[in-house]
Amino acid sequence: MSLNDEIARRRTFAIISHPDAGKTTLTEKLLLFGGAIHIAGAVKSNKIKKTATSDWMEIEKQRGISVATSVMGFEYNNIKINILDTPGHQDFAEDTFRTLTAVDSVIIVVDIAKGVETQTRKLMEVCRMRNTPVIIFVNKLDREGQNPFDLLDELEAELQIAVRPLSWPINQGQRFKGVYNIFEEKLDLFTPNKQMVTESIAFNDIAKPELEDYIGKENAAQLREDMELINGVYNPFDKNEYLSGKLAPVFFGSALNNFGVKELLDCFIQIAPSPRPIKAEERVVQPEETQFSGFIFKIHANMDPNHRSCIAFVKICSGKFERNVNYKHIRHNKLLKFSSATAFMAQKKETVDEAFAGDIIGLPDSSSTFKIGDTLTAGEALHFKGIPSFSPEMFKYIENADPMKFKQLEKGINQLMDEGVAQLFVNQFNGRKIIGTVGQLQFEVIQYRLEHEYNAICRWEPISLYKACWIESDDKVQLENFKKRKQQFMAVDKSGRDVFLADSNYVLQMAQSDFPKIKFHFTSEF
């Protein structure tokens, strides 16, 4: 198969949603269709001992939530699919934002009862900034929820995107009969079964009286009325509008009952984009270029706790990656060779000899060679941008609770900070380490992982801070004056850059007006 054919058959996408909308359950069912797993796990259930494939970390299994993005690849109908299952919880939003830089399209999962929630809105903003194509999957049709037309109006208003249903529910909750697949003109009838695939009937004309034999007289009349309204209100589906991020196709189903998932997948592989051009600082990189290039968008420590291994996740932007070939690490300006690059199924991994634009591979990183945002190329100096760290909103001092475990704690903190789960600042006044996060839950995850993965025990101590800002200035004298005056509130981050830790909004505003030649940055990318 030629390079262009290999690239054209790739689909790399993220599944995003508010917590509990059914994102990880949907991922499980997609994997089931791809033959990647043979029995779907449950995200929370005491009866089902198998947990979700993508929730492989111990803390995820205990809490029943995703706390880190998982990468899974499988083949379906000769299409290579790479899924990134992201955390829904807002405390892990930064991981999700970074993941969205590595995908070509997105599936948003919405709960039929709850509709659009806060986190869904925020994630959609990131998709809009990048014009990422979006498909919406309305989940939990086997439960009572909103009127589908009201929900479509809400999706348009809240997510600020035009919608077009490509499947339509026949009733819901206890009376749920199935969906009419508008895209393929088929009738999909619902049988509640968590592991089996639904039967579907080709049905290109719902005016036919046989429709009543399948779904009853009342439902048939309602479906005909709904379809007339849909065709009157919504424009026909336009693939180009979808690819430019202006139109979101909508599907209905129940991920838990494996219903409507195959229809979503079948349509997805037809309409979703193959790898798209990516903007580097120097130029736009086309996926079909023969020279390899890629960037690190995520680092994960201890994917295999027995070996304390660190894995850097690389999104391949162009060309073909080959095993045991020298590639240039742009930041270090040195050549590196990788003998054990891996492809993923959550934390299970297998060595790959080659991978193509659109694929996501893991590179072992035991000596902390990589940082998030690093670029690898066949030789050209390229820098891919758009992988920010945001200014944290919560801060705590981290202290060693066991003096005998100093080295373990040090190693644990360094590796977890490299992952980007939180940010480390060292106070220049007293030398104490401060951890900054965007949510309270991250402190619990860090403490848990330090203890269970590094055998180190930490304790948190309170500190009252408002914001961390990265500072820089062309006026060296003013910068030095500022650092002297604000000595108690100056810190350095993991890269050795100056950070001002403002303890209130008022103090920050005063600093900005007193020192006009200093630039205050609220993301680490500047």
| pLDDT, mean of residues 385-413 | 85
Q: Which of 42-51, 349-358, 437-446, 487-496 has the highest mean pLDDT?
A: 487-496
User: Could you tell me if residue 347 is inside a domain?
Assistant: yes
Q: Are residues 475 and 362 in the same domain?
A: no
391-429 burial, b for 16+ CB within 10 Å, e for fewer? bbebbbbbebeeeebeebbebbbebbbbbbbbbbbbbbe
Q: Which residue has the higher pLDDT, 332 or 442?
A: 332
Domain boundary, last residue among 232, 250, 271: 271
Q: Is the dihedral of CA 123, 128, 134, 137 positive or negative?
A: positive
Domain match, 259 and 350 both:
no
Question: Considering the entire predicted model, what is its pTM?
Answer: 0.76
Grouping H, G, I as helix, E, B as strand and the rest as coil, residue 3 is helix
Q: Please check whether residues 299 and 372 belong to one and the same domain.
A: yes
Q: Worst-scoring range by mean pLDDT, 149-163, 300-314, 444-458, 486-500?
A: 300-314
- Whether 17 and 114 map to the same domain: the answer is yes
Are residues 94 and 167 both part of a single domain? yes
* Among candidate residues 271, 300, 331, the one where a domain is terminated: 271
Q: 75 with 111, same domain?
A: yes
Of the pLDDT bands very low, low, confident and very high (cuts 50, 70, 90), residue 386 is: low
Please check whether residues 265 and 282 belong to one and the same domain.
no
**Count of domains for the chain:** 3
How far apart, in whole angstroms, are the C-alpha atoms of residue 393 and residue 422? Answer: 11
The pLDDT, as a whole number, for residue 37 is 46
Burial pattern 191-208, b for ≥16 Cβ within 10 A else e, equals eeebeeebebeebeebee
Q: Is 30 exposed, middle or buried (0-12, 13-18, 19+ CB in 10 A)?
A: buried
CATH of the domain at 257: 3.40.50.300
**311 & 428 share domain:** no
Both tokens of 275, joined, read: 């790898």
Res 380 pLDDT > 90: yes
Which tens digit of pLDDT belongs to each residue from 57-114? 454 445 444 334 567 788 888 999 888 866 544 544 566 677 788 899 999 999 999 9
How much is the pLDDT for 240? 95
Residue 383 resides in a domain? no
Indicate whether 319 and 421 sit together in one domain: no
| Between 428 and 37, residue with greater pLDDT | 428
- What 8-state DSSP symbol labels residue 419? H
229-268 pLDDT tens trace:
999 999 999 999 999 999 999 999 988 888 888 889 999 9
Higher local confidence (pLDDT), 490 or 421: 490
Question: Which of 466-499 are b and which e, b meaning 16 or more Cβ less than 10 Å from the residue's Cβ?
Answer: bbbbbbebeeeeebeebbeebeebbbebbeeebb
Q: Is residue 177 part of a domain?
A: yes
CA distance 102 to 86: 12
Query: Which residue did the predictor score with more confidence, 463 or 439?
Result: 463
Tell which of 271, 304, 319 closes a domain: 271
Domain contains 386: no
Whether residue 307 sits in one domain with residue 267: no
Do 58 and 158 fall within a single domain? yes
Q: Which domain, by its residues, includes 494?
A: 394-521
- 509 Cβ neighbours under 8 A, 6+ residues apart: none
